Amino acid sequence: MVKNLQIVHKDGSGREVAASVEQVAGVRLWDGAKAPVWTPLRHPSERSIVTHWWSATTGRFVGCRSLQRLSMAMQLDFHPNVVDLAAWTARLEWSERGRVRRFVPDFFTRTAGGATVVVACPPTAGPGARWERQREVLKQACEEAGWQFGSPQRPQPTALANMEWVSRYRHPRNADRDVEQALLAAFAVPRELMEGVSASGVPRLLALPRLYHLVWCRRLALDWSVALGPASVVRTGGRAKALRPFTVEGQK
């Protein structure tokens, strides 16, 4: 256990503040409006990216330092239990073996139940001794602050590919009340995607973006284990429990 663990974040004026974990427990680190304490820099020799995910949940950009994190941001954004999320809003600092150690969790999220869940993705190359130690310290911080430690859960490849496609239509500009009502009526009874589009009476090019937007918003559901296509069976409603972006220890 680390005895000198501190959390560094930025206050309302943009200044870095270091405090004990208990003092930071009530800080809104999941707020997308909060300034980041760290921004990754990509070296030309590295095969990685630094990018941002536009979140339909918050209407803000969320920082991602790799394609793996970009995928996780998408999963968090899609899940109905996640109501706020932000990246790089806090840094853990502690002393060990005469050196100051630092670690920045990938995401802070807030759930519909009011819990703060911290998500940290392991290195793409696989977890090593350094990562395992960072994970231990992060779990300690979560216990002391009353946060939940979220272990990333990646969906199977077909479900992930389906989500990536549907996510292209997450922006509210793809919403259209009249078209949506026609589609919801057409899929009140489960039917194949293109069959339902035809039954709605809405031109295909107008209907498809709205249909995918409804799937993103979970007002229409499909079998995520089957590749999305014209014959995909679509119906109203659905939770897609298998697409949880993380698991929390002690919870089913």
DSSP per residue, the chain: --SS-EEEEE-TTS-EEEEEHHHHTTS-TT-TTSPPS------TT-----EEEE-TTTSSEEEESSHHHHHHHHHHHH-TTEEEEEES--EEEEEETTEEEEE--SEEEEETTS-EEEE-PPPTT---HHHHHHHHHHHHHHHHHT-EEEEE-PPPHHHHHHHHHHHTT-SGGG--HHHHHHHHHHTSS-EEHHHHHHHHTS-HHHHHHHHHHHHHTTSEEE-TTS--STT-EEEE----GGG-SEEETT--
Partner residues linked to 91 by β-bridges: 8
pLDDT at 250: 60
pLDDT at 39: 86
How far apart are the C-alpha atoms of 1 and 147, rounded to whole Å? 17
**pTM (2 decimals)?**
0.92
251 in a structural domain? no
138 in a structural domain? yes
> Which of 152, 183, 201 is the last residue in one of the domains?
152
pLDDT at 41: 74
One domain, residues 127 and 17 = yes
26 in a structural domain? yes
One domain, residues 26 and 148 = yes
Read off the tokens for 110. Answer: 């807030």
CATH of residue 181's domain is 1.10.10
210 in a structural domain? yes
One domain, residues 135 and 161 = no
One domain, residues 168 and 113 = no
One domain, residues 35 and 131 = yes
Range of the domain at 166: 157-242
Is residue 150 within 8 Å of residue 181, measured between CB atoms? no
232 in a structural domain? yes
Tens of pLDDT along the chain (252 residues) come to 888 999 999 998 999 999 999 999 999 999 999 999 998 876 666 566 788 999 999 999 999 999 999 999 999 999 999 999 999 999 999 999 889 999 999 999 999 999 999 999 998 777 899 999 999 999 999 999 999 999 999 899 999 999 999 999 999 999 999 999 999 999 999 999 999 999 999 999 999 999 999 999 999 999 999 999 999 999 998 655 557 788 886 665
One domain, residues 129 and 178 = no
One domain, residues 25 and 138 = yes
> Which of 117, 152, 187 is the last residue in one of the domains?
152
pLDDT at 47: 60
* Number of domains within the chain: 2
252 in a structural domain? no
pLDDT at 243: 72
One domain, residues 22 and 113 = yes
CATH of residue 98's domain is 3.40.1350.10
One domain, residues 145 and 184 = no
247 in a structural domain? no
One domain, residues 161 and 91 = no
| Amino acid sitting at position 157 | P
One domain, residues 54 and 107 = yes
> Which of 121, 152, 183 is the last residue in one of the domains?
152
249 in a structural domain? no
One domain, residues 139 and 166 = no
Q: How do 233-236 and 220-222 pair as beta strands?
A: antiparallel
